[in-house]
Every structure is written in structure tokens, then in C-alpha cells.
Amino acid sequence: MNKKHKKNLIEYGLFAVVVLGFYFSGLHTQVIGFAQRGLLATGIMNPDVEQIEENSNPNKLAATKADFNLHLMNSKGERVSMEQYRGKVIFINFWATWCPPCIAEMPSINKMYNNIDRDKIEVLMVSVDQKFEKAVKYRDKNNFNFEVYAPVAAIPAMYETNSIPTTYIINSKGELIFTHQGMADYNRQDFKDFLKEL
């Protein structure tokens, strides 16, 4: 075995040990999320505001009426219904602590949350973790300001998804105008401006 081949084997072995170390330590979700956050910073993965504007064009066919039968519990144990937010713009994001793309987009959602008029826009961060306490601890550990929620009844079919993160936007008229599966940078100025106009 020559020196170059031996060196390559050692490098691959060390790489495998590092990867397995992250996996078995439970840090793999955060590491993958951090890498995906770097991808978000490039601007490649952004919500398509043009598509949103097209969907909200009044000259198009009638928009889909949102289902307000989403019943949730917040981190304080209080039950809330989406119905109580009727008349507001509603940003709904389904996520989980074990989902790297969800983890990657959280900082941008928190920044967006801190820079919107929360009297007019409601942000519902709905955790699909089996243990809701994990979502609350994750939010607190990362000093995110938004509230987290867990479903307390069946999720309406309109919001069922096989992919997380998934984000829905409902305008102030109660119409579902946007669905996005996968991570995105929601702190972009064009996106925040769009939310304000709804």
C-alpha cells in the first residue's frame, strides 16, 4: 500500500468518524440545519413573491377559502382556534425539531416575526413533534420570540402535508393564497412588503 493510498484511507476514516460522531451525539440535525442555513443565505431558496402576487390577483378565478377549523395549543397550555385570527393575514408554518430544513429557516422566520405588524399579521408556528415540549425547549434555547403551537384536533385536510417545513399564507379576506413546501428565507424585504399589502 503506497503512502498516498494510506493517507486517503485515513482521511476517509476520519471523515466517517466525524459524521458518525455527529449522528450518534444527536447533533446531526443542527449541523445539517446550519449547512442549509448557509444555502438560504445565498438567496437560492426564497418564497416566490411573484407567484404569490399572481395567486392574489383579483382578476383570477375565485381564491380558495381557508379552513379556519385549525385548533391549537400554545406553549402556555392555552387552546386557540385559527378562527380567532379571522380578518388578519395568517402565516402558518408546520415544522419539527428533528427536521434540518425547518431548523435552517427558523432564524429568518424569527427575524420576519420581529419586523412585522403583529396587530395585522399572525404567525402560527405549528410543531408536529410527537412531544410538544421539545418544540418549546427548542424555541426557548434559541431565544426565538414567536409562539409555538401544537395541534389539539385533526389538522384540516387543506393543511395536511407529507413534507415539512410547509408554509401557508391566508390573506385578510380568509383566502388561502400561498403554499410553499421546503425551507425559505421569509425575512426578505419583498416578502415582508407583500405580507403588509395583504
User: How high is the mean pLDDT of the chain?
Assistant: 82
- Quick check: 36 and 181 in contact, CB under 8 A? no
Q: Can you tell me which residue has the cell 410538544?
A: 132
pTM of the model: 0.74
Which of 62, 71, 93 lies closest to 156, judged by CA?
71
Residue bearing cell 403554499: 179
End-to-end CA distance of the chain: 67
Give the Cα separation of 171 and 51 in Å (integer): 14
Q: What is the band of 14 on the pLDDT scale with cuts at 50, 70, 90?
A: low
Does residue 116 have a pLDDT over 90? yes
What pLDDT does residue 119 have? 95
Angle at CA of residue 167, ends 164 and 168, nearest 5°: 140
- The yes-or-no verdict on residue 7 having pLDDT over 90 is no
Pairing of strands 71-74, 64-65: unpaired
pLDDT tops 70 at residue 132: yes
pLDDT at 65: 94
The residue with greater pLDDT, 10 or 131, is: 131
Please give the CATH architecture assigned to the domain spanning 39-197: 3-Layer(aba) Sandwich (3.40)
With residues binned 3-state (H G I as helix, E B as strand, rest as coil), the percentages for the chain, rounded to 5, are 45, 20, 35
Q: Give the three cell numbers for residue 23.
A: 449522528
